[in-house]
Structure formats: structure tokens, C-alpha cells
Chains A and B, each alone.
Chain A
């Protein structure tokens, strides 16, 4: 942000903290640690109480979605959906909540926020956004972004995202996040002013590092492998689930045809008429019950999708580590070569190839003064290099420590959430079975009365 040091390699300072409820706080930079101390919630080690801090004090909800039209950057008319974010602070005594902030944001602004968080907190597994486009759809489910069901599920996903960020011990303190919730106008400009886009690591650089790094921390290598597998297996599961859902839909809906035929038949059948008629009704009930069942299942799918996207967030942290490690290795290598050069100049032996060496050979030796000058420059560079290496090393270790702490936190969260999701799936199946038993018992009774 404002305090960006000239050296782009230096670790970025987290954005200043802003305690909630201080509208006049302005953009004054406040160092993280100081404000941490001001809280009585303890230090930033991700304890439960800290996680609860925000949720006890405030409630965040994405309560509405609205279709809007406007002009985009190219001055073309576009339709988009805006989401209403409401923040409430919970009064201590009576537990009642008071609306403190309310504003509208569109999906692209959420993306902007997330990208900012990715750049400024590379050691954090940043919560993912709900999918941009509907994927893993089964045939009756709309893939249209403007479809009301999709919009509804996205609303829930966005709320989930905000709650995840708000409950994260580090991310919840971010100023930009706070402003996202409280400052409707001008927020985009504020984010862009941080210049975070410039600080983002280039993809090329990251890719390069991935291939060339020699000694990454083994844990990160394993983590990367794990996240690949997680992504692959959840994708597979979601695909199969979508197909199963499709087929289940077919089975239920065809039974609806029985309803129609029975009803028509009952008109001409004297003895069986009543039984047929009521049995037909139950077939209709059966056929239409699938819609709610699959809607519930879609929420389950969304829970899994969140972790599908979390896999990418994990990989981002691994990439950052590789980049830093590669950087370190390059710096060390550079230092070593400079040291060697220096030594050669000092002792007069030429072991390494250098252009200067060549020209010296061709055009004659340089003067001692020239040599001295060069040695001096090199020594300075070596000094600087050693400093840099030290700090890079430190940074690297800090990063690994912090990242791993967050990864542990993430792992626990993931295990809890996935287990809960699987249990909720079972609950859904149970409900579906009970409905089925009831409908068919009723139908059976009607049939036997025919």
C-alpha cells in the first residue's frame, strides 16, 4: 500500500487494520502489530476466540440479488446482477443486531477483493469465490448466469465467502476488506491505488520458478500433489453426481405419466375407478417430489465445489513458496559467482569466463587501479548481496512458518466441513427415502382398493 518499499522483493506488509465502528479512521496506515495489541483477543495465532471476534461483533449477510443494467468499460450496455451486503453489529446485552452498513456489490468487485487478498497475503489459503459460470450441470439445471436458481446459489456462495474471510484470523483485519463492507463508492479506486496489481507475481515468473527450483520444502511439494489430487477427485465426483441426478430425475418424472393415464382410465373404469384415480394422484406427488430433492442436493454440490476451488488456493500458496525459494536460490547463486569473481581478480587466477577477462587477454591487462576499482565494486555488491540473502532467508522461513500455520488451520476446517457435508448428504438421502416410502405406501393402498 502506501508504505510499499522501493525493493519489490521485500515482503509486503499486510494492509493496516481498522477496528470496526470507527468511521473516522481514514486511510492512515497503522501497523498490524500495534492494533493487534489493542485488541484483547490475543495475538494473531488463529485461536478460536479470535476467529469468533468478528462473528460475535458483526453479522454479514448477502441478502438480496438484483438485476441491473449499465454501461461497461467499452460503453456497451450490459446486464449484471448486484448483491446487497448487509453488515450488522450485535449489541452485547440483548443480542439484538443493528444494521450498520448496507451496500451493493457485483461479482467482479468480489473478484477484485479476492485478487487483492491473494497478492497481499500470499501465505494464506484465501477462501475461494463461488464459480463464475455454472459447471457440472445436469440437464435440467440451467447453465445461464442470469437464471434465478443460479443467482440464488451464487448469493449464498458470496455470503459464504465473506463469512470465511471475516472468520479468518489474519484476513479479517484487512482494511480493504473492511472498506469492501462499508464504503460503496470509490472502493474500486481505493483498491487500485494500493497498486497491488503491480505487485502480483507474474505467471511466467511463477511457472519458471516451479520448474527450476531445486530445493523446495518437501511439505509444499506434497501439498501441491495433494491439491492436484483433491481437485481431480472432487471434479470426478461432481461429474458423476450430476449424471446420477439426471437419471434420478428421469425415473421420478416418468412416473408422473402414470398419474395422467390412471386419471383418464378411472373415468371409464367403474370398479377400479376410485383406486386408479387416487393412485394416480400419488404418482403425481412422487414425480414432483424430485424437484426439491435435487435442489437440496445442489447445495451439497456447492459445498464440494468450494473445496474444489480451495485446491487452487492451496496451489497458490505452494507457488509462492516455490517462487521465494527460487528467488533465494538465484540470489545465493549470484552471490557465489560474485565472490568467485572477486577472488579471481584478487588472486589473478581466472577460472571463470568473463568478457572482461577475454578483452584483457586480447587487448592487454588492465591496470592495477582498474582492478582495484573493480574489486571494490564487487565487494560492495557482495556485501549487499549477503544482506539480501540474509533477509530473503528470513523472509522465506517466515513465510514457511506462517503459511504452514494457515495450512494446518485450513486442514482442520476442511475435515470438519467435508465430514459435515457428507453427513448432510446422508440426511438428504434419508429424507428422500422417507418421502418415497410414504408415497408408495399410499399408492399401494390405493392399488389394493382397486
Chain B
């Protein structure tokens, strides 16, 4: 079982070396050495106890292993997948921290573009230093994504934010757009960092660490031809869902993806709409408080009451603003990322049947799929729980405001309750 576990890692990161056209795992990556991996396997077997959270699996030592190797001999085991997932939730074992910030506009004679600062902090040995700071533009991210797709055609590569502005804004780079993109890019890189296989991809490392000119020259290397092959393999892997060995699972996956895509798109629309409605509510509320102040100017006896009401309304207004920003921080980006994910997952192409290779590819894919699904559930659950929390907080704040108003008003000696008031 331990052996399986180890092998499953290798599998999930691997690509079919043989039949798919001799593709190499990644430009500049370590040379796959199957002998090396089996040697490591033997060493680790003794240390691992199946019942423990075998976190050691992903310790520094594990990083020495060639994660890009592929051995068709090792079957996958669902248990190992679960363990992988467990590890990812442990923040203290994360050894790669990435932030994306400081968008900057660059103007040349030919074009205008934005670069983002990427800061990487790591304790990993294979990195020359423990901290890196580079600048990247969207094009570079696209390049990285392409390379990852080539190298790992059976894995689910995280989505990038949209290339173009969807809603047709006049200004190409307005602040909201840039901020949304920045957050999404950061998410993208962190997803890769958290992925058990992708995190060790060589191009990823180059992306995070190389200076701009270094990256340019690195980009120029590498066979463009093979990228198409990568896509083919991906397509095949996905298309062979009806493969005779495990038809039900893949049918299930297929159905799930379709439904999920539909639902997540709806949820995305709804969430965006809620944000819009809350924004418009906020805009109107801004006027509501001041009207009461205006009124207080003409009413001698009601000045205090009216001013209090105005202040309550203003406080609720601020609470609304906070609720809105909570929505846009927590819920919207998460949902939208999964919309993009669902687009990736939906692709289907019918290309021949390459049974043996595909069999293994499907295994790798399925493993990654389970991992993805688990992540998705956690993320969605988290996002909605946060949203609920934001709303609770909002209403609690407003409640406190109005309750204190009420106390202040009813403490004062009220004139006799008018019996003649209808």
C-alpha cells in the first residue's frame, strides 16, 4: 500500500512517455529517472505508517524525488489521494508562499500593459534563495499555463482570469478590473503551489524566480510542436470516459461536470447580481440619512430624534458597504474561479482510442479529479459560510444601532401617550 501511495504521486504528475510521442516532462526540468524513484520508494516504505497522516510524504525529502517521472506500472489508490488532500489543508507544512500585488502600468510606443509584482517566499532546497521578487505581465501567466498544460495533460490546471473584459467597459484598465485580475492571478499561482504535482514543475519555478530577460530567453526554448500533442492527450484522456474498464465512474464524472458547470454559472450570475443590487441599495441609502438632518433644521422639538435617526441610517449604510466588500472579497472570486474551472472541465474531443496509455492517463486524471472535487466542496462551503457570516454581522451591527436609538428615545420622559391619537 505504501508503495502504491508513493507511486500514485508519481503517476499524478506524470505523462505518458511512451506512446504519446516522446514528450519530455517539462523544459528544463529534472531528467526523469525511474530507477531513482523506485529507490526512494524503497527507502520511504519503512517509515510510513498507513494509519498516520503520513505528512512526511510531503516533507523536504519528498521534494528530492522526481515528481515528474511516470511509471506505468504503478496503479493508483484512492486512499493515497485522500491523504494528499489532507496534507494540502495543513498550512504549517506549506513551504511556498506567493503574493501578487502592485500593478503597474507600462507604456511603450507599441503598447500599454500592466505588470504585477510577484513575491515568493520559500524554504525549499531547490530554490536558490528564500525570497524572490519578479514582475510579470498577463502574457507571462498565459505562457505558464500553456506549459503546465503541455507537461501535465491529464491534470486539472487552474484557470486564469479572463483575457478580455467581459462586460464591455470603455476603459481597458480600470481599477476594479485590475484588482479583480490581481486577486485571480494570485489565486492561480497559489493553486499551482498547493498542487502536489504542479508545485514542482520547472517552468513554474522559472516563472517565480527568473528575471524578465531570463524568462524571455527561457520561453524561447522548448518544442512548440509538442504542445499540440499535449492537448491531444488531454482530449483523449477526457474523451475516453466511456472506456470499458471503468465506464460508470467516468459517466458519473461527465454528468457531474455538466451539472456543476450549469449550476456554478447560475450561482455566479446570481452572486454578481446580488452585488449589483446591494451597491444600488447603498447608493440610495447614502441619501436617506441626510434627509433627516435637513428635516431636523425645521423642527425645534424633534431635532435630537431626527439627528439620531440620521446617524443610525448612516451607520447602517457603512455596514452595508462592509457587507458588499465582504461579498466581493470572499464569494465572488471563488465562484468565478470555479466558473472558469468548469469551462476547462467541459472540453470534449473525440480522437481515436489509445487504450493502454489512456488507461493510465485516466487513472491520473481521476486522481486529480477527486482532489479537485474535494477542494471545490471545501471552497464553495467556505465561501458561502463566509457570506452568511458577513450577512449575520451586518444585521447584528444594524440591530445594535437601532436598539441603542430606541433606548435613548424611550429613556427620555415621553409626553403622555396620546389617548386622542387615533
| B388-422 vs A, Cβ < 8 Å mask (1 yes, 0 no) | 11011011101100110110011000110011111
User: Are A247 and B403 in touch, CB under 8 angstroms?
Assistant: no
Residue of B with least CB distance to A266: B263
User: Are B281 and A251 in touch, CB under 8 angstroms?
Assistant: yes
Cβ of B56 within 8 Å of any chain A Cβ, yes or no, is no
User: Are A237 and B295 in touch, CB under 8 angstroms?
Assistant: yes
Give A242-276 interface residues, CB cut-off 8 Å to B.
243-244, 246-248, 250-251, 254-255, 257-258, 261, 264-265, 268, 271-272, 275
- Cα separation A225 to B350 with both chains bound (whole Å): 81
- Cα separation A164 to B278 with both chains bound (whole Å): 40
User: Are A444 and B385 in touch, CB under 8 angstroms?
Assistant: yes
Cβ of A63 within 8 Å of any chain B Cβ, yes or no, is no
Task: Looking at the assembled complex, report how far the CB atom of A63 sits from the nearest CB atom of chain B, in whole angstroms.
Answer: 14
Q: Is the contact region of chain A dominated by helix, strand, or loop, or is it mixed? A: helix
Cβ of B305 within 8 Å of any chain A Cβ, yes or no, is yes
User: Are A441 and B270 in touch, CB under 8 angstroms?
Assistant: no
Give A46-105 interface residues, CB cut-off 8 Å to B.
48, 51-52, 55
- Chain B residues near A31: list those with CB within 8 A: none
Give B8-58 interface residues, CB cut-off 8 Å to A.
none
- Cα separation A237 to B284 with both chains bound (whole Å): 12
| B378-390 vs A, Cβ < 8 Å mask (1 yes, 0 no) | 0011001100110
- Chain A residues near B312: list those with CB within 8 A: 426, 429
Cβ of B346 within 8 Å of any chain A Cβ, yes or no, is no
- Chain B residues near A437: list those with CB within 8 A: 392, 395-396, 399
Task: Looking at the assembled complex, report how far the CB atom of B282 sits from the nearest CB atom of chain A, in whole angstroms.
Answer: 8
- Cα separation A433 to B255 with both chains bound (whole Å): 41
- Chain B residues near A448: list those with CB within 8 A: 381, 385
- Cα separation A428 to B405 with both chains bound (whole Å): 13
User: Are A233 and B291 in touch, CB under 8 angstroms?
Assistant: yes
- Chain A residues near B394: list those with CB within 8 A: 436
Cβ of B273 within 8 Å of any chain A Cβ, yes or no, is yes
User: Are B381 and A419 in touch, CB under 8 angstroms?
Assistant: no
Task: Looking at the assembled complex, report how far the CB atom of A347 sits from the nearest CB atom of chain B, in whole angstroms.
Answer: 56
- Cα separation A419 to B294 with both chains bound (whole Å): 16
Give B292-310 interface residues, CB cut-off 8 Å to A.
292, 294-295, 298-299, 301-302, 305-306, 309
User: Are A427 and B309 in touch, CB under 8 angstroms?
Assistant: no
Cβ of B274 within 8 Å of any chain A Cβ, yes or no, is yes
Task: Looking at the assembled complex, report how far the CB atom of B212 sits from the nearest CB atom of chain A, in whole angstroms.
Answer: 43
Cβ of B79 within 8 Å of any chain A Cβ, yes or no, is no
- Chain B residues near A419: list those with CB within 8 A: 302, 305, 409, 414
- Cα separation A434 to B399 with both chains bound (whole Å): 7
User: Are A417 and B421 in touch, CB under 8 angstroms?
Assistant: yes
| B99-113 vs A, Cβ < 8 Å mask (1 yes, 0 no) | 000000000000000
Give B193-240 interface residues, CB cut-off 8 Å to A.
none
Task: Looking at the assembled complex, report how far the CB atom of A290 sits from the nearest CB atom of chain B, in whole angstroms.
Answer: 12
- Cα separation A271 to B381 with both chains bound (whole Å): 11
Task: Looking at the assembled complex, report how far the CB atom of B93 sits from the nearest CB atom of chain A, in whole angstroms.
Answer: 24
- Chain A residues near B89: list those with CB within 8 A: none
Cβ of A377 within 8 Å of any chain B Cβ, yes or no, is no
Cβ of A230 within 8 Å of any chain B Cβ, yes or no, is yes
| B255-278 vs A, Cβ < 8 Å mask (1 yes, 0 no) | 110011001001100100110011
User: Are A436 and B395 in touch, CB under 8 angstroms?
Assistant: yes
Cβ of B141 within 8 Å of any chain A Cβ, yes or no, is no
Q: Report if A254-B287 is in contact (Cβ < 8 Å); known contacts: A164-B422, A233-B298, A436-B395.
A: no
Cβ of B128 within 8 Å of any chain A Cβ, yes or no, is no
- Cα separation A450 to B387 with both chains bound (whole Å): 14
Cβ of B288 within 8 Å of any chain A Cβ, yes or no, is yes
Cβ of A284 within 8 Å of any chain B Cβ, yes or no, is no
Task: Looking at the assembled complex, report how far the CB atom of A251 sits from the nearest CB atom of chain B, in whole angstroms.
Answer: 4
User: Are A52 and B395 in touch, CB under 8 angstroms?
Assistant: no
- Cα separation A419 to B278 with both chains bound (whole Å): 30
Most buried by A among B259, B377, B418, B420: B420
Cβ of B162 within 8 Å of any chain A Cβ, yes or no, is no
Partner of B422, one of A48, A160, A257, A264: A160
Residue of B with least CB distance to A238: B291
Cβ of B85 within 8 Å of any chain A Cβ, yes or no, is no
- Chain B residues near A164: list those with CB within 8 A: 422
Give A406-450 interface residues, CB cut-off 8 Å to B.
411-413, 415-420, 422-423, 425-427, 429-430, 433-434, 436-437, 440-441, 443-444, 447-448, 450
User: Are A433 and B398 in touch, CB under 8 angstroms?
Assistant: yes
- Cα separation A447 to B415 with both chains bound (whole Å): 48
User: Are B292 and A254 in touch, CB under 8 angstroms?
Assistant: no
- Chain B residues near A163: list those with CB within 8 A: 422
Task: Looking at the assembled complex, report how far the CB atom of B97 sits from the nearest CB atom of chain A, in whole angstroms.
Answer: 27
Partner of A244, one of B285, B306, B415: B285
- Cα separation A418 to B418 with both chains bound (whole Å): 12
Cβ of B90 within 8 Å of any chain A Cβ, yes or no, is no
User: Are B399 and A55 in touch, CB under 8 angstroms?
Assistant: no
- Cα separation A413 to B416 with both chains bound (whole Å): 11
User: Are A268 and B256 in touch, CB under 8 angstroms?
Assistant: yes
- Chain B residues near A261: list those with CB within 8 A: 263, 266-267, 270
Residue of A with least CB distance to B384: A447
Residue of B with least CB distance to A412: B415
User: Are A444 and B389 in touch, CB under 8 angstroms?
Assistant: yes
| A215-246 vs B, Cβ < 8 Å mask (1 yes, 0 no) | 00000000000100110011011001101101
Cβ of A167 within 8 Å of any chain B Cβ, yes or no, is yes
- Chain B residues near A240: list those with CB within 8 A: 284, 287-288, 291
- Cα separation A447 to B405 with both chains bound (whole Å): 33
User: Are A254 and B277 in touch, CB under 8 angstroms?
Assistant: yes
User: Are B259 and A440 in touch, CB under 8 angstroms?
Assistant: no
- Chain B residues near A416: list those with CB within 8 A: 415, 418, 421
- Cα separation A429 to B319 with both chains bound (whole Å): 14
Cβ of A174 within 8 Å of any chain B Cβ, yes or no, is no
25 pairs, CB–CB < 8 Å, chain A vs chain B = A51-B419, A240-B284, A244-B284, A244-B288, A257-B270, A258-B270, A268-B259, A268-B260, A412-B415, A415-B302, A417-B418, A418-B299, A418-B302, A422-B409, A423-B406, A430-B399, A430-B406, A433-B402, A434-B399, A436-B395, A437-B392, A440-B388, A440-B391, A450-B381, A450-B384
In addition to A240-B288, A440-B395, 11 A-B residue pairs with Cβ atoms within 8 Å of each other are: A229-B298, A240-B287, A272-B377, A272-B380, A415-B302, A416-B415, A419-B302, A422-B306, A426-B402, A429-B316, A433-B396
